[in-house]
Structure 1
Amino acid sequence: MPSSINPWNIVVEGRGSDQRDAATGVPLASPDLGGPVGFADDHLVPLLDAGLGNNAYLVDLGDGRALAVDAGRDLRTLREAAGRRGLRVAFAADTHLHADFLSGAVQLAHDERAVVLASAAGRRGFAHRGLADGDEVGLGGLTLRALATPGHTDEHLSFLLLDGERAVGVFTGGSLIVNSAARTDLLGAERAEELARAQYRSLQRLARLPEDTAVWPTHGAGSFCSAPPGSERTSTIGAQKEANPLLAAPDEDIFVRRLLDGLGSYPAYFDRLAERNRLGPAVLTYEPVLPALAAERVHALRSEGGYVVDVRPAARFAGGHVPGSVSIALRDQFATWLGWLLPDDAPLAFVADADQDPGEIVRQAYKIGYERIAGHLAGGMAAWRAAGLPVARTPYLTPDQAPDTAYVDVRQRSEYAAGHVPGALHLELGTLAGHVGDTPEGALVACGHGERAMTAASVLEHAGHPGVRVLNGRPRDYAAAHGLRLTEGEAP
């Protein structure tokens, strides 16, 4: 941030509506624009990726062009929204070097000649317009102003959208998010506190915007970039000043403690994706497909260092699966667990049911950079059995069927702390591969419903630790069936 920008003091230039905040350049009083404003609420289209817990945004610029903000590599919903309005994406802005998905900005530049807007400090390795604090980009009747808001990453920018002099809204990326702020440990635990202090100053800067300014974050509920649960994905500056516990922190030290204490684990692929976004994801000139593979080819894949991923529902996997395959059900969270549990440099073969979309498997894998896709088992498990190949099974037990045995809870730390079966061993799913030896033989593996627990059982089986059972149900249901009450608090 240039030394001339002081986020703590207000500099008054002139009188009345000419008074401006030095940190943002926005008038302290809303100016009388003397006529209708050019931006309306329906000019903004939020685009939710429920699996990753993120929003991208499409802004109708009113002249046949559009601005895309933090678009991911899977551009289907964005293109559908633009197509309905007859828009061409002319600008693609990224608030930061994303760790949880590959950016779609390079693809938009290739396909639609979009100008990529991003922080100059990010040293991106592809054509873009590098922006520094205070730089502005004309968008027809609107203006986009870059605000340096480091914390989530070093080079993080927020983008303030102006209609004339009026601050319409601010794309806050991983800075100010609804009722929180994004995590600051993605560049290493040793920098987490330093970046948390930068995050504090960034949030204080954003809080100086007019209270009716809309807040449009990228990360929201369900994001491992640290968003609390809740249904609201956008807000206003005024609402956040009232409701955000981090903005309510009385000083920087308390802010830092609150932010760092709330950090949980995050997927392993986060550690490598930011650099891929800096270099620029490969442009796709074709629709990736999932080739059909004979059962014998899938059988041979594991000996060649590959993985078999079973995307069928947990109950189907339990009833019979390829030995050593990893169960990751094809649902919203598929990409997250694929990226958390498996390497991105090994070939992958998939087992699916006939009614599951092979294209969805490919799109979810590609959006987080998993491109070594060998194919899918042609004919599914029926073909596997017909080839005379071995079949493994995993007991999937309802709470009343489950025995009184060692109970392994694979949920996230916050879920476990909110209520768990007394005496449960807590081993998060994302870390389980490193704790195979800590898992008791014959244990009952459980999560919130059963999907992650089945994944955990498959990880253990893949590592040579078979014999575990999976709970098909919730911890509270197991406790009720066994005359127990859930316990709160973190594991020792």
Structure 2
Amino acid sequence: MSTVDVLPLVDEGLGNSAYLADLGDGRALVVDVSLDLRAARRAAARRGLRLAFAADTHLHADFVSGARQLAATDGARVLASAAGRREYRHDGLRDGDETDLGGLRLRALFTPGHTHEHLSFLLLDGAAPVGVFTGGSLIVGAAARTDLVHPALTDELARRQYASLRRLASLPDEVAVWPTHGAGSFCSAPPGARRTSTIGAEKATNSLLRAENEDAFVAALLGSLGSFPSYFRELADTNRRGLVLPGDPVLPGLDVDRVRALAADGAVVVDARPAADFAAGHVPGALSIPLRPAFASWLGWLVPADRPIVVVRGGDQDPAEIAWQAVKIGRTGLAGELDGGLAAWTAAGQPVRRTPVVTADGIGGRPVLDVRQDAEFAAGHLPGARHRELGRLDGHELPREPLVVMCGHGERAMSAASLLEQAGHRDVTVVLAGGPTDWARATGNALVTGA
């Protein structure tokens, strides 16, 4: 039995796992690692390993790959699909190609579907298959979405995904399954799913692997797809070119006058403080995106790629974490941060805006705007609630009536309120604590299900 050490490096915010494999000779392979290489470097340093190989299963849409960065700074050898036509030096692999890792071998398996050029990587110890890095092909309990390349190709790619999953299912039952996308990923994974699995476990439990035929598979897969962040349309091209940072990203300090000038010239002021702090007072026109694991996804969804970003943060928030979250999804236009935070803004005599808040049991009979995802809304919402996903919210389309905005916990609702404020809405209240289930519990009323 193989004793190959493969360590998942989980990004809870993106719902993804990269992997670090100890090659047994002081070197390591990393698979699907993002541009935020901090976790991979820490894991390698603890084991005394050099990051010698960087493999990408596909042209990622949800994060910037760290492969080209590792090639530039660590001399890593990049392994990726030849069909991806990457514009930097790499080993362009085709189906069946093998790479000698120094005792272990990595075999490329062409598994299109999630993307047109997708590879899975089968790790072999001698002749024995140990595990397979499945990227966005077979994932725990599901398969990754097929609508990211182009809407017109969604059905075709779903059919190719069907064939790819059947191919992977032909591997021995004991082979480990190491997928990139997992619970919390907008690339489609069931909530609460385990991060890794085996071929045998997936054959026994994954409903898509047990679909009667190709048409049934396609219907089930496409029927499960929800919305995804708009920045997903940008990053495949970014990853085809590759991105190298000149150094760790930073947030230079900006004085109040500079922040005002940048905002007047089109910069987006992103307030990363907790929602309650934003409610208590914020720079007028600022966009609330509280720093939490999902910060990167919402930053990419709500802030256009061509707009400079000015950050307002709390004194206890790590500026490096904010900067890394931004650059790993391609938001490299970081102008800096408001030096001294909101206190400096108010000390300079600048106006602040406040957002009224209530708890779930304080809504009363006011009109409600629910900004959760479609599936969340359908699972249970307040009677009469209007629905618009946060990522699709356009405040200019909504009537200028009083609104109570809610989500599940308050962070997305505060983001929505800040977008409404930018669009000229003034009578907006946010449910800061709790969601529909809390309202039902507090009032004794039933939620409504369905779209």
TM over 0.5: yes
Structure 1 residue runs without a partner (length 5+) = 1-36
Q: In the TM superposition, what are the counterparts of 1:278-289 in structure 2 within 5 Å?
A: 278-281=240-243, 283-289=244-250
Partner of 1:158: 120
- Quote the Cα distance in structure 2 between the aligned partners of 1:277 and 1:92: 14
The answer to whether the Cα contact below 8 Å between 2:57 and 2:81 also exists between their aligned partners in 1 is yes
Q: Deviations over 1:258-280 (max 9, x none)?
A: 00010000001000100010011
Q: In the TM superposition, what are the counterparts of 1:9-408 in structure 2 within 5 Å?
A: 39-40=2-3, 43-281=5-243, 283-408=244-369
The answer to whether the Cα contact below 8 Å between 1:95 and 1:158 also exists between their aligned partners in 2 is yes
- The offset of 1:463, in angstroms, is 1.7
- Quote the Cα distance in structure 2 between the aligned partners of 1:287 and 1:136: 34
Deviation larger for 289-298 or 145-154: 289-298
- Quote the Cα distance in structure 2 between the aligned partners of 1:286 and 1:119: 28
Structure 2 residue runs without a partner (length 5+) = none
Q: Could you tell me which amino acid in structure 1 is paired with residue 360 of structure 2?
A: P
- Quote the Cα distance in structure 2 between the aligned partners of 1:160 and 1:338: 34
What secondary structure is seen at the aligned counterpart in 2 of 1:137? strand
Q: Could you tell me which amino acid in structure 1 is paired with residue 98 of structure 2?
A: E
- The offset of 1:440, in angstroms, is 5.4
Partner of 2:398: 438
The answer to whether the Cα contact below 8 Å between 2:29 and 2:52 also exists between their aligned partners in 1 is yes
- The offset of 1:439, in angstroms, is 5.1
Question: Alpha carbon RMSD of aligned pairs, Å?
Answer: 1.1
The answer to whether the Cα contact below 8 Å between 2:314 and 2:341 also exists between their aligned partners in 1 is yes
- The offset of 1:231, in angstroms, is 4.2
Q: Could you tell me which amino acid in structure 1 is paired with residue 27 of structure 2?
A: R
Q: Deviations over 1:88-117 (max 9, x none)?
A: 111100000000000000011111111100
- Quote the Cα distance in structure 1 between the aligned partners of 2:193 and 2:210: 21
| TM-score normalised by the chain length of structure 1 | 0.90
- The offset of 1:321, in angstroms, is 0.4
Q: Deviations over 1:182-237 (max 9, x none)?
A: 00000122111110000000000000000000000000000000111014100000
- The offset of 1:58, in angstroms, is 0.4
Partner of 2:381: 420
Q: Deviations over 1:61-98 (max 9, x none)?
A: 00011111001000001001101111111110000000
- Quote the Cα distance in structure 2 between the aligned partners of 1:468 and 1:441: 9
- Count of residue correspondences: 450
Partner of 2:426: 466
- Quote the Cα distance in structure 2 between the aligned partners of 1:123 and 1:152: 17
What secondary structure is seen at the aligned counterpart in 2 of 1:79? helix
Moved over 3 A (4+): 480-483
Q: Could you tell me which amino acid in structure 2 is paired with residue 221 of structure 1?
A: A
The answer to whether the Cα contact below 8 Å between 1:408 and 1:439 also exists between their aligned partners in 2 is no
- Quote the Cα distance in structure 1 between the aligned partners of 2:139 and 2:281: 43
- The offset of 1:480, in angstroms, is 3.3
Q: Could you tell me which amino acid in structure 2 is paired with residue 441 of structure 1?
A: E
Q: Could you tell me which amino acid in structure 2 is paired with residue 356 of structure 1?
A: Q
- The offset of 1:402, in angstroms, is 2.2
- The offset of 1:481, in angstroms, is 3.3
- The offset of 1:172, in angstroms, is 0.2
Q: Deviations over 1:330-385 (max 9, x none)?
A: 11000100000011111111111111111111111010111111111111111111
Q: Deviations over 1:19-78 (max 9, x none)?
A: xxxxxxxxxxxxxxxxxx5x415x111000111000000000000111110010000010
Q: Could you tell me which amino acid in structure 2 is paired with residue 230 of structure 1?
A: G
Q: Deviations over 1:98-144 (max 9, x none)?
A: 00000000011111111100000000000000000001111111110
The answer to whether the Cα contact below 8 Å between 2:140 and 2:193 also exists between their aligned partners in 1 is no
| TM-score normalised by the chain length of structure 2 | 0.98
- Quote the Cα distance in structure 2 between the aligned partners of 1:422 and 1:274: 41
- Quote the Cα distance in structure 1 between the aligned partners of 2:421 and 2:202: 46
The answer to whether the Cα contact below 8 Å between 1:421 and 1:475 also exists between their aligned partners in 2 is yes
- The offset of 1:416, in angstroms, is 1.0
What secondary structure is seen at the aligned counterpart in 2 of 1:247? helix
What secondary structure is seen at the aligned counterpart in 2 of 1:52? coil
Percent identity, aligned pairs only, is 62
Q: Could you tell me which amino acid in structure 2 is paired with residue 316 of structure 1?
A: D
- Quote the Cα distance in structure 2 between the aligned partners of 1:406 and 1:455: 18
- The offset of 1:483, in angstroms, is 4.0
The answer to whether the Cα contact below 8 Å between 1:421 and 1:486 also exists between their aligned partners in 2 is yes
Q: Could you tell me which amino acid in structure 1 is paired with residue 366 of structure 2?
A: T
What secondary structure is seen at the aligned counterpart in 1 of 2:296? helix
- Quote the Cα distance in structure 2 between the aligned partners of 1:274 and 1:357: 29
Deviation larger for 171-180 or 231-240: 231-240
The answer to whether the Cα contact below 8 Å between 1:48 and 1:54 also exists between their aligned partners in 2 is yes
